[in-house]
Structures are given as C-alpha cells and as structure tokens.
Chains A and B, each alone.
Chain A
Amino acid sequence: MNQQTLKRSAFILALGAVMMLSACKKKVAPPPPPPPPPPPAPTASLTASPNTVDKGQSTTLTWQTTNATDVSIDGIGAVQPSGSQQVTPSDSTTYHLVAKGAGGTQEATARVTVNAPPPPPPPPPSVSEEQLFSQQVKDIYFNYDASDIRADQQTALQGDIDFLKQHAGVRITIEGHCDERGSTDYNIALGDSRANAVKTALTQAGITADRIQTLSLGKEKPFCTESNEQCWQQNRRGHFIYQK
C-alpha cells in the first residue's frame, strides 16, 4: 500500500464517520396535522399468511385500517389500527376484525385453516438386521447320526461367519435338531452335539462364544414330519435363531 492510497483511505473513513454521525443526529420531521373533517368512513383489511397451516404451526395476521379509532380482533382484543401478530390456532379459525371510527364501522375477516396432523410417514423401506439375518444366515445340515460339519456345508458356514463378523451386535441361538429315528434321549444328545459343533466352528472362526447359545431340540420340534429321507435331512440341522 503506497502513501497516496493510505491518504485516500483515511479520507473515505473520515467522510463515512461524519456522514454516520450526522445521520444519527437527524430528527424525523413531525407529520403535518390532519386536515379537518368531514369524517370519512373507516376502511379495514385483514389477511393471514399463510392461510393454511398444519396443527401446531403459526401464521401471521396482518391488518390495516384507516379512519378508525377503535380496532379489535375477536379472540385477540384491541389492537393498533395497523399491525401484524403471530397466532397459533389449534383448530381452523375465522379471525374477525372490527374497525370503528367517527365515520362508521368496518369489518374484515380472515380464515385460517388448520390441517390435522398427517399420519406418521411409513418407515423408510430399509431392511432390518433381523431380516438380513433370515435372508443371509443359512442352517447347517448333518448326516444321519453324525455331528461333524460336512464339506458341502462349508459355504453356508462361511456365509454365517461373514454375517456374524459384519454384524457384531447380533447374538444367536443354535438349535440342534434330529430326524425322527432313534430314541428320544439319544436324539437330545445328538442335537446337543450338532449345536455344539456349529458353535465350535463359529468360535474357531473368531466369533466370540458369548454371542452364541445352544439348545438341543432332539426330535421334539421337527421341521418336516414325513417319514422319508428328504424330510429327515430337513430335520438334521443346526438351526440359527436371531436374538435381540
């Protein structure tokens, strides 16, 4: 910044300061006195903006009158000849303004429509964790009288492990199920071994044991009740259940 620029800036600042000071001291000139009567009839207008609101929202009433000495709005009371005010009607309301003056009375109305609250919007169609669980987590199926995890179940098992790693808050119960053959007691033990085999596979893959409960149902709650191998295979499984 050179010398000349500095000088010019100082001049502008000084000039601005003088202008501001003189503006503050300036007095508003009083209005000229009204001309004498004949007394004219008052006029009035009343508007609400917006004139439609949702329940709980407010709207602004604005009114203007002329030649009125006594202005009131029902529900609000006496008001200035012109002005505005925020109102929050709980129901649809017709505001009624009465302007009285030496020349008579003038009325004005404004309707405010209050909409009932809309029903809460449906939740966005996103998939819950539990839905993802039921879509992605697969049961593990077993051979007859066996509780070791078959080679053809490794893909399903890996999918289960991946899901549980991605959803670290999910807890599960693994139910061990058996087909209808064999004794009740032996099948409770076999179902227990199946559930534990799945649990062991999960914990070995890094899923912490405290997220996993096991329960044998033996042959007490079959998925399928026919006496054929297809049905029996359906019932020989480790069944994953989502726990909140």
Chain B
Amino acid sequence: MKRFIWHFIALISLLSYAAAQDWIKTGTNLGQQKVRLAAADFQASTQDAKNADLLKVFNDTLWSDLDNAGIFDMVSKSFNPSGTVGSPSDVKFDQWASPPPNAAMLAFGNLGVSGTNVTMQGWLYDVKNTSSPQVLGKQYTDQASPEAARTIAHKFANEIIFRLGGGIAGIAESKIYYVSTRSGNKEIWAMDYDGANQHALTRLGSISLSPHPSPDGSRIAFSSMTKNGWEILMYSTDLNRMVAFPRYGGTNQSPAWSPDGTKIAFTSSRSGDPEIYVVDASGSNLTRVTSYKGPDVSPTWNRKTGSQIAWVSGRTGLPQIYIADADGTNVQRVTDQGYAVSPSWSPNGQFLTFSWIRHYGPGEPGAQDLYLMDVASKQFVQLTHDGGRNDFPSWSPDGRHIVFQSNRSGGLQIWTMLADGTAQKPLTSGANNSQPNWSWK
C-alpha cells in the first residue's frame, strides 16, 4: 500500500508535468473517480438445458471483462441484493443504490437458448436516476455455443466500457500475439486478451520471435531463423497460413507496423551492421533509417502520428532508447544510463514504455523493470517493482493496459497490468511464453 501511494504521487507529478488534459486517454486512470459498477448474474430466459453452461461462461466473462477494464470499482457479487434481476422490472433501485452495494451503475439481463441460437438481452442502468435509468440496452443473437457466449459477453462489456469510459473502445475482443515454447520450439501463438483460447499459429520447427500484428489485424509479421538466416516472415490471419515476404540478406528481425499499416520498420544487418530500415507493407522500397556502428534494433512507431520511431541503439555502449523522425533525422537519446530495451509507443503518442536496468553494473541489484516515460518531458515512472526480469511491454488498444513478459514467478510468462502498474496478473503458465504484442483494436 505504501508503494502504491508513492506510485500514485509519482504519477500525479507526471500528470501535472505533462499537463495531460485527458488523463484517461493518456492510458492510465488514477486520479479519476472510478465508476462503482454492479453486475447482476444474467438469468435464463428460456427452459433450454444448455442455458446453465452458457450462462456460467457469459457471467464469468462479463464480470472479468468489466473488472479487467480498469475504470470500474466493481461491486462484489456478495454485496448484491437478494433476488434475481433478469429484466428491467426486476430492478429494485434503492437496494442497488444504497450500501452495501452502493452502486452507481448496474448491468443486468438475461440469456436463453432457443433451437440452435442463443439470445442475450442486456441493460446498463444508472440506478441513482430512477426517472430515466437506462444508459444502454442491447440484444445479441448468435449460435448457441460457449465460444459465442464469450463473444457476446465481450461485446456487451465493450459497450459498457465505451459508454462509461470516456468513449474509448473496450479491449474485450482484442488479441495478444506472443512466442511460446509449448510445442517444443519457439513458435508464434495467439490468445484472447484475457488469456483464453491460447493456440499456435506457426509450426515452423525453428526459432521464431517478435510477432507484431498489423493495425487491421490481418497479418502478423515476425522474425524466424530460416536456412538462409534470420528473415522477416508474414502470417495471414485471414488465410491462416504463411504468405510471401521478401528476403533481404543478413540478419532481419523485430518488425513493427506503422499506424496506418502501410510500412514496416525492422532491423537488418544486410550492410554488415544491424540498422533500422523501413519498407512498404509489401516488402518493397527498402529505405535505411539509421547509420551508426553498433546494434540498432526494436523499432516502434509513434502510434498517433506515424512520423517518429523509437528504437534501441548500442552505439554508445550499453543499449539505450532513441527517438528520431521516421526518415532518420532529429535523433535524440531519451535514456541516460543503464540498460534500456524494448520500447513500445502508447496509442495516444504521448508515452513510451520500455524495459530498463537503470543501475547496471557490478554490485548493482540489476533488477529489470518496466518504466513509463512521457516523451515530451522525458519524465518517467517505474511500473514494476516485483522482482525478476520484466521485458517486452506492449500497449493495449485502449492505452489503459500493458502486456509484458516476466520471469518473476520462475518460468518466463506473459503478464498484464494497468498502465499505471497496478493489477498485475499472469495470463500464461507452463512452458516459456514471451514477447507479447497486443493487437491494435
């Protein structure tokens, strides 16, 4: 708790320094009152035998999505008033609005299987506004399956988050691409944002690294060790197979899509030294961006403007974070010490998060933690404090979350947290899972 308070103060100071006009959009939401939200268990609307299973999936997923959103003070279900709430006529406003639930908002509804379809009706009520309580009313129909129940819950959660979270789309349907050794080799895998539905995309039997999804989600660029060395490979999520991409010679790795999806920045040692290059998404029009001896790797685009690139350079010794215009001009170094790698630019363009061993050297503790830096002011705050090596941060599409890898629990696993460093939790277990990258929407 002490740490939390210190952390809070640090963020507030950063907030004032950065003169953030819209803190929610900056990606963290401390400093703003969280909406106290209750979610009543949805009720069966038909007599079908499948209802119980689908309701369980739906209710668990909806709760998890709302809780994960990071903008709600969720009312524990044990505080919910007795009696079920399946439709608007069931809502007892005063019971929800007064302690113990003391809710400002209530999500409720019903779900029922009829034939091969499942239909869900859901509402969001402002329980303190008894005269005009309805904020949201939605109905979804899909094939009756647990997967569809999950999807419907994600869609309804996203609607609530969009409505109550300052108009920023929810991330309940977003994906995370990562590297897993579960099949024996380092292959490219994908999962839902909450860790569900983990599955392999590639079966190349080699070493594949750094999967980066295109902004529209149709392609995953990654690097893989082929018989000709390290190449940028391309996987189509539309076709569910590899698609062609040019070979450039030398060691090619760490691809990153520009926010408009038309360009890819990556590292190539085709000249003999690892440098940053930019190509069209088709792989043509190769342009060299950096020219300085020493490794230049891990580019990330300014996701708001697409006009700047941050990357890691070892040109002065230990790797540091640099920023330049996308054509390689106006180079500036943004970290001043230690060992800094793996920058990821926030969706609003204001922040970089990266992995930093700030005090590096003999006799130093050598913790590798994630930091958040305001690009304009170079002010930074530390996001992880819990030991282990924390690396490869990547922003969620709403800018409120960061996914990363950590070995704090022993094996290398993928974790998420809110972008202020709170609510850290693992998404994967077993084998080694690393290098996560969040989808753009």
Contact = CB atoms under 8 A, between A and B. Distances in A.
Interface string A143-185: 0010000000000000000000000000000000000011111
Contact of B342 (A185, A215, A216): A185
Contacts of B253: 185, 188-189
A215 to B, nearest CB: 6
Nearest to A173: B229
A232 B335 CA distance: 26
A193 B250 CA distance: 11
Given A183-B341, A185-B341, A193 B435 contact: no
Size range of the chain A interface in the assembly? 10 to 19
Contacts of B250: 192
B312 interface: yes
Interface string B29-40: 000000000000
Nearest to B339: A182
Contact of A185 (B225, B297, B317, B339): B297
A181 to B, nearest CB: 8
B251 A186 contact: no
Contact of B434 (A184, A214, A216): A184
A190 interface: yes
A239 B16 CA distance: 52
A185 B254 contact: yes
B433 interface: no
B195 to A, nearest CB: 21
Contact of B209 (A181, A184, A193): A184
Interface residues of B, number: 35
Contacts of B229: 214-216
Interface in B379-396: 391-392
Nearest to A191: B251
B297 A188 contact: yes
Contacts, number: 84
Interface in A74-122: none
B267 A183 contact: no
Contacts of A43: none
Contacts of B314: 145, 186, 189-190
A34 B118 CA distance: 126
B307 to A, nearest CB: 23
A158 B38 CA distance: 74
8 contacts: A145-B317, A183-B319, A185-B253, A188-B253, A189-B267, A192-B250, A192-B295, A216-B251
Interface of B: 186, 207, 209-210, 223, 225, 229-230, 250-251, 253-254, 267, 269, 272-274, 294-298, 312, 314, 317-319, 339, 341-342, 355, 391-392, 434-435
Given A185-B297, A188-B209, A192-B250, 15 more contacts: A182-B339, A183-B355, A183-B391, A184-B209, A185-B312, A186-B295, A188-B230, A189-B267, A192-B230, A192-B295, A193-B274, A193-B295, A196-B273, A215-B225, A217-B225
The 6 A-B residue pairs whose C-beta atoms are closest, nearest first, are: A189-B295, A189-B274, A183-B341, A192-B251, A185-B254, A189-B297
